[in-house]
Structure 1
Amino acid sequence: MPDGRTTVATPETGQNKSLLATTVLVGTAGFAAAEVTISGSARMGITNAYDTTNDANKTQFSSRARVNFAASGETDGGLSFGASFRADNAGDANSGTAGTVSLSGAFGSISMGDNDSAALTTVGQVDGVGFTGNGDLNEIIFLGEADTSALYTYTMGDLTIAASMGQIDGDTNYTGNAKQAASVAASYKMGNYRFSAAIERGDKAVYSFSDRADAYATDPEDTYAERNDLTSQVTLGADATFGALVLKGRVAMGSGEAYNGLPDEPNGYKTTGTQVAVSATYTMDALSVTAFGAHAKVAYDYYGTDWGMESTRYGVGASYDLGGGAKAQAGLSRLSHDALNDDGDWSDTKMDAGLTFAF
C-alpha cells in the first residue's frame, strides 16, 4: 500500500518537494486505485511596499496559508488522470475557472482549467527574490494568461513541445485577459544548457501610468494614461548551469496596436514591444543568493516620437534552507516607470523578509 508521499510544486518556491501528505486510496472492481493527497504552504514576515491609502511606502506584517488538493488515478489501459486545486478556489474549480484536470499517456499530457500558457510553461521566467515574490518584477509579460484554457505538452528525451488555447468562445476584456490567446512552444536540453522558444497570438493590455497610485489602483481602467495592446509575441529563453551558478535570460519581441482615450476609440497606431530579463543564482550549501535585471519598452511612433511606456527593474535577494520544508528569504526590488514623452515618470522600491513553509 502506498505510503502517501507525493511530489508537488509549492507556490512559495516553485521547486519540487517530497511531501508527506494525507492519502485516501479507493479500490473498486474494474477500476485502478485512485489517490487523493493533501499538501500545503504558508508564509509569514514583513513587507515594505507602496500603499495607495498613504501614497507612500508602508511597512506591514504579511502572512498567508494555503491547502492544496491533488487527486490521481490510472485506467486499466495505463492512462494517468488527475486533478488539483487549492482549498480557497474550490468554488471556482467546480465551475472550471480554477484548478486543473489532466489526462496523460504515451501521447503526452493534456490539461484543462487554470493553466499557464504553453509559452509560460515552456520558456518560464528568470529567478525572482523575496518570500512574497516582492512584486514579481523579474517577470516578463506573456500574452496568454487565461484562467480557462487547454494545454498540451509532450516530452521526448531532451525535447519538450507544448501548445495551448484559451477558452474557445471567450473574448478579451479591457484589462487584457486574453481568453482566446493561443501559443506554441518548445525547449531543448543539452547538458548544462537549456534553450526555449515560443510564439503567441492574443491580446495583452500594457498601461502607461501617470503615477504610482494609478498603477496600483484596484481598477486601472479608470486611471491609465494610455494603453498599448500586444497581439503577437515571440519569446526566447536560455538557461545555463556552471556548478553552483545558474544563469537565465529571456528576450521577447511583440507587436500590436495603441489606444488613446476610450477603449472603443483606437487610433490605429502600430505598437512594438521588447522585453529583456536576466538572473543569476549562486547556491552555497543551504544558502542561495539571487540577482536579476529586467527592461521593457512598449511604444508606438507618433510622427517620429515614441509614445508608450518603458520600465527598468532590478533586485537582489537571498534564501536559506532551514530543512523540513522551511526557508528564510529576503528581497529588495526597484522599479522605474517612464511614460514616454509624458510627465508620468515614477519609481518604487519594495522590500520583504520572512519565512516560507511547505507541508
Structure 2
Amino acid sequence: MKKILIATSALVATAGIAHAEVSVSGQAIAGLIYNSEGVEKTKLLNKVNIEFNGSGETDGGLQFGFNTNHIIENNGLSVDNDDTTVWMSGAFGKLSFGAVAEADEVAGLSDIGWDGLDVDDVAEALVGDELLDNGQAGKGLGHNVNYTYATGPVTFSLSGRLATSHGTLAPGASDAESYAAGVKYSFGTGYVGLGYGSHDFKLLAASPVAAMDRAKVVSVFAGATFDAIKVAAMYSDASFKSVTGVKSGADAYGLNASYTMDALTVSMGYSKANFDLATGRNDQKAFGIGAAYDLGGGASVSGGIAQVESVGDENQGNRLLPKAKETRADFGVTFKF
C-alpha cells in the first residue's frame, strides 16, 4: 500500500523528541453482496477506509505512535471510527492501548470473498472478542490494553479489558472482566501458537445463555506457506460456568488454504463450531470458495460464494438463535492507495 508522507524525519528543536512522522493510506471498494435469507437479497456496497499512522522516537530511544482507521460507507450514510490505538515500545517490548489485539487470538484465518463472507467467524467463535456474539448481547469483550514481547522466533502477549465505567451499571450495560495470554513460535515460513482466555461477564440481568456467565478458552494455531500454497488451521476448546454452577462447553475449528498462480489466487475455507449448553446443543458450520485477481498498481478484483449454517441474527447479538442455511456471495473491486 502506497503511503502519502505528511511529515517525515521532522527534527524538533524542543528537547525530548528526536523525530516524528505521520502517514496516510487508504482503500476503496465497490461491488455487490448477496444473502439468500436477506430482506433485500442483493445489495450494492461501496466503502472507503482511510488509515492514519503516526510514529516518533525520543532522544532516549523510546518509540511511540498511533494508528486510527475511519470508514465511510455507502456514500457517507455511515461514517465510523474503525479502531484507534496508541502505543509505545522499546527494549521492554511493546505496550498498546485502545483497540488492541486480544492475546489469545495468536493467528486468525483469512476470510473468503471480496468484502468477506464470515466463513472464518465460525472457527473463531470462541477466541478474542468473538465469544459474546454467542449469547451475551450488549456486553463488550474487546480488550483495551496489550503487552507484547518478542525474542528471536518467539512472541509472548498479554492483554486485558480494564474497566471503562464505574459504579453500579444498569442491566444490559457493556461490561466484562477479561484477560488473555498467547505465545507464537515462527520458523521459516511457518508458525505454531497457543492461546488462553479467561472471561467473567459480570452478569447484571438474565443471561441469554444461562451457562455462559464465566468462560475459559484454550486455543491452538498453526500455518505455513509452501511455494504457491498457503495453509492455516486453528482449534479452540471452551468451558462455561453459570453463577448457579451449571457447566457446559464448546469447541470450534477451521481450515483455510489458498493457491497463487501469477496474478490469480484461489482460496477455500471450512469452519465448524459445536456448542453443548444448558439451553441445548447448537452446531454451526460454514464452507466457502473464492478467487482474487491482482490487476497491478494497487487494484484487484475478487469474489466468493459460501454456505453458512445455523448462524443466528447478528442484529440481536446472539449467534445461538437458530437460523436456516444462508447462501452468501460477493463480487467487487478493491483499490489501495
TM-score where L is the length of structure 1: 0.75
Task: Encode CA deviations 1:19-78: one digit per residue, 9 max, x unaligned.
Answer: 2313224432122121011111111111101565x3xx6111111012111111001011
Change (3 A) 1:173 1:242: farther
Which residue of the partner structure matches residue 212 of structure 1?
Answer: none
- State the distance in 1 between where 2:216 and 2:171 align: 17
**Counterpart-to-counterpart distance in 2, 1:354 and 1:298:** 34
Q: Residue by residue, what CA displacement relative to the aligned partner does 1:123-165 show, whole Å, maximum 9, x if unpaired?
A: 2212221111123545412454244511111111111110001
Q: Tell me the SS of whatever aligns to 2:310.
A: strand
User: Unaligned 5+ residue runs, structure 2?
Assistant: 73-78, 130-140, 313-319
Q: Are 1:125 and 1:140, in contact at CA under 8 Å, matched by a contact in 2? A: yes
- Shift in alpha-carbon separation, 1:115–1:127, aligned structure 2, 3 A: same
**Residue of structure 1 in register with 2:193 after alignment:** 196
The answer to whether 1:356 aligns with 2:334 is yes
On the 8 A contact 1:98/1:147 being kept in 2, the answer is: no
Count residues in correspondence.
304
> Per-residue deviation at 1:189?
1.5
Map of 1:324-335 to 2, 5 A cutoff? 324-335=297-308
Q: CA deviation at 1:87?
A: 3.6
Q: Counterpart in 1 of 2:61?
A: 78
Q: Is the 8 A contact 1:269 1:300 kept in 2?
A: no
- Are positions 1:184 and 2:181 aligned together? yes
Per-residue deviation, residues 168-194 of structure 1 (Å, max 9, x unmatched):
455999889664311010010122331
Equivalent position of 1:277 in the other structure: 254
1:312 partner letter: K
> What residue in structure 2 maps to residue 210 of structure 1?
none
CA contact under 8 A between 2:177 and 2:201: conserved in structure 1?
A: no
Instruction: Answer yes or no: is the 8 Å Cα contact 2:183–2:195 preserved in 1.
Output: yes
2:60 aligned counterpart, secondary structure: coil
Report the more deviating stretch, 323-332 or 266-275.
266-275
Query: Aligned match of 2:30 in 44, 50, 54?
Result: 44
Cα distance between partner residues in 2 of 1:315 and 1:190: 29
Deviation, structure 1 residue 225:
7.8
- Find the counterpart in structure 1 of residue 84 from structure 2: 99
Letter in 1 for 2:250: G
How do 1:31-70 and structure 2 match up within 5 A?
31-49=17-35, 54=39, 58-70=41-53
Whole-Å Cα distance in 1 between the matches of residues 311 and 11 of structure 2? 60
Q: Which amino acid is the alignment partner of residue 95 of structure 2?
A: I
RMSD, matched Cα: 3.3
Normalised by the length of structure 2, the TM-score is 0.80
Deviation at 1:345, TM superposition (A): 5.3
Deviation at 1:301, TM superposition (A): 5.6
8 Å contact from structure 1 (residues 336, 346) kept in 2: yes
Identity, % of aligned pairs?
27
Task: Look up the match of 1:13.
Answer: none
CA change 1:144–1:250 in 2 (3 A) is closer
What is the distance in 2 between the residues matched to 1:73 and 1:168?
A: 29
SS of 1:70's equivalent? strand
Whether 1:310 aligns to 2:283 is yes
Contact 2:293 2:301 (C-alpha < 8 Å) held by counterparts: yes
Superposed CA offset, 1:77-100 (max 9, x none):
1111001112459x997xxx9400
Q: 1:322 to 1:167 in 2, by over 3 A?
A: same
